[in-house]
Amino acid sequence: MGKGIFNVPIAVNEPVKSYAPGSPERDAVLKAYKTMINSKVEVPLYINGEDIKTGNTRTMSPPHDHQHVVGEYHLAEQKHVEDAISTALEARKTWSQMPWEQRAGIFLKAAELIAGPYRAKINAATMIAQSKTIHQAEIDAACEFIDFLRFNVQFMTDIYMEQPESTSDAWNRVEYRPLEGFTYAVTPFNFTAIAGNLPACMALMGNAVVWKPSDSQVYSAKVIMDVFKEAGVPEGVINVVFGDPVMITNTVLSNPDFSGLHFTGSTFIFKELWKQIGENIHNYKTYPRIVGETGGKDFIIAHKSANAKQVATAISRGAFEFQGQKCSAASRAYIPKSLWNDVKQYLLDDIKSFKMGSPEDMSNFITAVIHEGSFDKLAKYIDQAKADSDAEIIAGGGCDKSKGYFIEPTVVVTTDPKYTTMCTELFGPVITIYIYEDDAYSATLKLVDETSEYALTGAVLSTCRYAIDEATKALQNSAGNFYINDKPTGAVVGQQPFGGARASGTNDKAGSAQNLLRWVSPRLIKETFVTPTDYRYPFLG
């Protein structure tokens, strides 16, 4: 602790830039995009502050142009993962003793680097690696990431200020120690902000980290590491290993010093990792913390009192932004019969106006899905819907992977509320809609609650307060983020802490103090000023 009780800057959300034609930010990001897409980058492993080139490499290509190579990245072998772990354990010795304000300074600096000199680069990398439009890249790689970094510093000090009562003869203090051992971050492809935040927030709380990014997000992971390095994250505090997720994870989870998993990704993988941790439990020196934010089958339910245009807009943006590749994306909707014709017309008009193609053309609303595996899975469900008698495709349905992994925004209407695409997370630009009888609102709420194993996000649209209240109660456990008269996506750090329960995760709310609390192990220190010298009670017997 420094010699002062310091206040940190009050966290404010980073304003989202418009990228209007002729704006300086548009020129800057296009320039960065063109430079980066026309050159070749080499991404090493990052262990102990060194760039490690293993010679075993894999190429990187944008999902919207899969034959175009933008670089290669190096793959770890087991010994590199072991190095990353021993390095993290070594770095922890000094990092865990670093005064909090020094740690805060590093990550506040990282936020400002992204807000300024790295903004175009991190957005362009996200457009290339994950095929995000500039608008989606800006809200993610720039603004959400900056917000995570700024707000986490504030949450950290809020936590540190949480102290017990003391008396005149004994002073009670709680220190929030980093976890003993090293921590492990496993991150998904779809948000650069999540990829950066998972290791960063553990490091902010004094932990040393081994980070395994997604193979489909390597380019933007590299820019994150450039930022961390320039911000001054010391050697060995965040170590990055790319490659075989099973080998890397087996190596990490079999280490006795493993002390925490910060995972975001699919439900099945998270459950497998949890199981593996359970199987290793006798080997660990401490009970590992397990935080996982996972899949969703997010819903929109409209009441007959809703405004049809608002419902259609919630679907258009909630289901199709970033090709539906958000854990929060609306992927099932329940529309009352009396509203359907209008909702359908507005929705079809919206979809007709969507342009699809490369993110370099900033008039495109839809770009490619992340990789061939995802493309093939989506195409299979779409083909199945074309064949099934209880499903009808009313928009989209086309798929083309000749140049990029392009799936048309697709709307399936089903007569079976438990139809497969009403229940299964597809993670793509496909929404399934069930039309219900207007007077079956209560029964439909029950259906919404019972249809999926997930409970991540959901939205109700209605102008009737009674209907809103009924939905709020009936769907209490159906979503960790519940939206009234809005789309179920687009949570903002500091405003809508994010996460879900049931199969959607541990609901430790990314972008909140609650999440940071998982990465510390409090120690209570009681200091007694006049130490007793007689064991007897004042009155014994």
Ligand X SMILES: NC(=O)c1ccc[n+]([C@@H]2O[C@H](COP(=O)([O-])OP(=O)(O)OC[C@H]3O[C@@H](n4cnc5c(N)ncnc54)[C@H](O)[C@@H]3O)[C@@H](O)[C@H]2O)c1
State yes or no: residue 150 binds ligand X (CB under 6 A).
Answer: no
State the minimum distance, in angstroms, from the CB of residue 252 to ligand X: 9
- Identified binder of ligand X from the candidate list 126, 154, 183, 190, rule CB under 6 A: 190
Beta carbon nearer to ligand A1AUG, 237 or 330? 330
Residue 148 near residue 196, CB atoms below 8 Å: yes
Candidates 482, 389, 390, 394; CA nearest to 430 is 394
Query: Of 252-271, which residues contact ligand X (CB under 6 A)?
Result: 264-266, 269
State the minimum distance, in angstroms, from the CB of residue 465 to ligand X: 30
Beta carbon nearer to ligand A1AUG, 417 or 490? 490
State the minimum distance, in angstroms, from the CB of residue 69 to ligand X: 21
State the minimum distance, in angstroms, from the CB of residue 108 to ligand X: 24
Choose the one of ligand X, ligand A1AUG, none that binds residue 189, judging by a C-beta under 5 to 8 angstroms depending on kind: ligand X
Which residues have a Cβ under 8 Å from the Cβ of 321 and sit 6 or more positions away? 136, 329, 365, 489
- Out of 138, 143, 144, 327, the active site residue is 327
Beta carbon nearer to ligand X, 240 or 306? 240
State the minimum distance, in angstroms, from the CB of residue 338 to ligand A1AUG: 30
Instruction: Classify 168 as helix, strand or coil.
Output: coil
Residue 488 near residue 481, CB atoms below 8 Å: yes
- Identified binder of ligand X from the candidate list 126, 187, 259, 432, rule CB under 6 A: 187
With contacts defined by CB under 6 A, name the span among 12-20, 26-34, 245-253, 404-412 that binds ligand X. 245-253
112 is an active site residue: no
Q: How far apart are CA 466 and CA 7, in angstroms?
A: 44
Candidates 231, 235, 233, 240; CA nearest to 118 is 231
Beta carbon nearer to ligand X, 213 or 494? 213
Choose the one of ligand X, ligand A1AUG, none that binds residue 489, judging by a C-beta under 5 to 8 angstroms depending on kind: ligand A1AUG
State the minimum distance, in angstroms, from the CB of residue 237 to ligand A1AUG: 25
Query: Of 213-242, which residues contact ligand X (CB under 6 A)?
Result: 213-215
State yes or no: residue 212 binds ligand X (CB under 6 A).
Answer: yes
**Any idea which residue has 């009050």 for tokens?**
10
With contacts defined by CB under 6 A, name the span among 133-141, 206-214, 226-234, 434-442 that binds ligand X. 206-214
Residue 470 near residue 442, CB atoms below 8 Å: yes
State the minimum distance, in angstroms, from the CB of residue 456 to ligand X: 6
Beta carbon nearer to ligand A1AUG, 251 or 489? 489
Tell me the residue nearest to ligand X as measured from the CB. 265
State yes or no: residue 249 binds ligand X (CB under 6 A).
Answer: yes
How far is Cα of residue 267 from the mean position of the Cα atoms in its chain?
A: 13
Residue 47, beta-bridge partner list = 50
Residues in the chain: 541
Tell me the residue nearest to ligand A1AUG as measured from the CB. 491
Query: Of 479-518, which residues contact ligand X (CB under 6 A)?
Result: 498, 504-505
Interstrand relation of 298-302 and 457-461 (parallel, antiparallel or unpaired):
parallel
Residue 49 near residue 87, CB atoms below 8 Å: no
Residues lying near ligand A1AUG in the complex (CB under 6 A): 190-191, 326-328, 489-491, 498
Residues in contact with ligand X, counted by CB under 6 A, come to a total of 30
Ranges assigned E (strand) in 304-366: 330-336
Q: How far apart are CA 311 and CA 315, in angstroms?
A: 6
- Identified binder of ligand X from the candidate list 296, 397, 404, 458, rule CB under 6 A: 296
Choose the one of ligand A1AUG, ligand X, none that binds residue 208, judging by a C-beta under 5 to 8 angstroms depending on kind: none
Q: How far apart are CA 148 and CA 111, in angstroms?
A: 9
Tokens of 310: 């608002």
**Any idea which residue has 């069930």 for tokens?**
434
Which residues have a Cβ under 8 Å from the Cβ of 108 and sit 6 or more positions away? 8, 9, 149, 150, 153
Candidates 470, 396, 404, 480; CA nearest to 433 is 396
423 is an active site residue: no
Find the DSSP H helices in 354-401.
372-387
State the minimum distance, in angstroms, from the CB of residue 43 to ligand A1AUG: 23
Sequence letter at residue 417: P
Instruction: Classify 24 as helix, strand or coil.
Output: helix
**Any idea which residue has 């917000």 for tokens?**
147
Find the DSSP H helices in 116-181.
119-129, 134-137, 145-161
- Identified binder of ligand X from the candidate list 151, 182, 191, 346, rule CB under 6 A: 191
- Out of 293, 360, 408, 425, the active site residue is 293
Positions annotated as catalytic residues are: 293, 327
Interface positions with ligand X (CB under 6 A): 186-191, 194, 212-215, 245-246, 249, 264-266, 269, 273, 293-296, 327, 425, 427, 456, 498, 504-505
